[in-house]
Structures are given as structure tokens and as C-alpha cells.
Amino acid sequence: MKSFHELLEESVERHGHLCAGQIIGVRMAMLGCSLVGIDDPKAPHFRKKLIVFVEIDRCATDAIESVTGCRMGKRTLKFKDFGINAATFVNLDTQIAYRIVSTEESRELAKKYAPEETSPRQQQIKGYTLMPDELLFNVQQVGVHLPEWEMPGPPRRHAVCSRCGQMVRDHREIQVENEILCRPCAGEAYFYSIEK
């Protein structure tokens, strides 16, 4: 794997700016890959061997995506909207998985690691860079249930919504009584129709 500074530079370029979330995300991804035994996640032989579940749609997620090469379009990056600055790294060959959570205490600890910085933003950027992993993160080995339709590769299941006719892939359909529905037809739409 490349060095922290090389990976951070790549991540910042993709994300658009340097922030504390980039530091946390790069370090989280490096630690996660190390814990699950993947030393170069972008190498061709690891391309579909790592799945990462991210739990927040913030800056750290962009960094994790940049470091690991995992992407939603490749079905190797999964988003669970929990609002927690956390990610779970799963080695598909070994089934070893670790969930890593950014500690809330690290905000205050950043001052200790960067006392010369007066700006809280700069204290976090420098502090998170210098802080040991065990203070920056809580790490837990976990198991992750991965049904076949969650795996990378082509869809393994298709269903057709009985109301709108939309094809639903990867076991995302909902059965209501004897009716197979897409989520919008089942009342789970994030959008609403505007009649013209």
C-alpha cells in the first residue's frame, strides 16, 4: 500500500479539499485493509475481494473510496445510513471483518497532539495525522452476513413490480400480501410526482 501522505494527496484531489474527514477516512481505510489482510486493495487480484460498508455520507467516505478503490457501481462499497463515522471492512476470501469507528474523544485529544495550532480545524487535521490508531478509532472484529445478491458481479435475482412494471434487481423488491412491488410503489419513495 502507498504511504499515508500519498494516499491523502490522492484522496484530497478526488474530494476537492483537505479536511479532518479526509485524514480520518484515509487512516480508517489503511487500518481496515491491514486488519483484514489486504495490503493493496487496488491491485487486480484484490479488486473484488474487499467490501466496505460505510455508515455516513460525509468526507471520510470519499477518502475510504479513494484508498480502497471500492465503489458502489462495483458493488464493493455499501452505504448504511446510520449517521456514524464508521466503516466495516470485509475480506471476502477469509470472511474476516472489522468495524472501525472514529472516537468522539479524538476531537479533544487533537489539541494535545497539535497544541501549537490555534484553529480547531488545523488542530484536528494535524492531531488526527499524529494520533495513534487506538486513540483515533474503536476497532471491533465482527461478522457480516452477505447473501449472494449482495456480492459483486452481475445481479443474481430479478423481480418485476406488479404495479409499475419496473425491473427490481438484487432482492430489493418488497412483497405485500401476494404482490411484488418496487420500493416506490410500496410507499418508500424519496421523491414525489409533480403533475403538469
Cβ–Cβ under 8 Å, residues 133 and 24: no
Confidence at residue 45, expressed as pLDDT on a 0 to 100 scale: 87
Could you report the average pLDDT of every consecutive run of 10 residues in the chain (196 residues)? 96 96 98 97 90 97 97 95 97 97 95 94 96 98 95 92 96 94 95 89
* Domain ranges (residues) in the chain: 4-146, 154-188
User: How many whole angstroms separate alpha carbon 28 and alpha carbon 88?
Assistant: 10
Q: Which pTM does this prediction carry?
A: 0.92
Q: From residue 177, how far is each of 105, 143, 174, 180 by CA, in Å?
A: 48, 32, 10, 8
- Domain 4-146 carries which CATH code? 3.30.1330.130
Cβ–Cβ under 8 Å, residues 90 and 146: yes
Confidence at residue 39, expressed as pLDDT on a 0 to 100 scale: 93
Confidence at residue 69, expressed as pLDDT on a 0 to 100 scale: 96
- Domain 154-188 carries which CATH code? 3.30.60
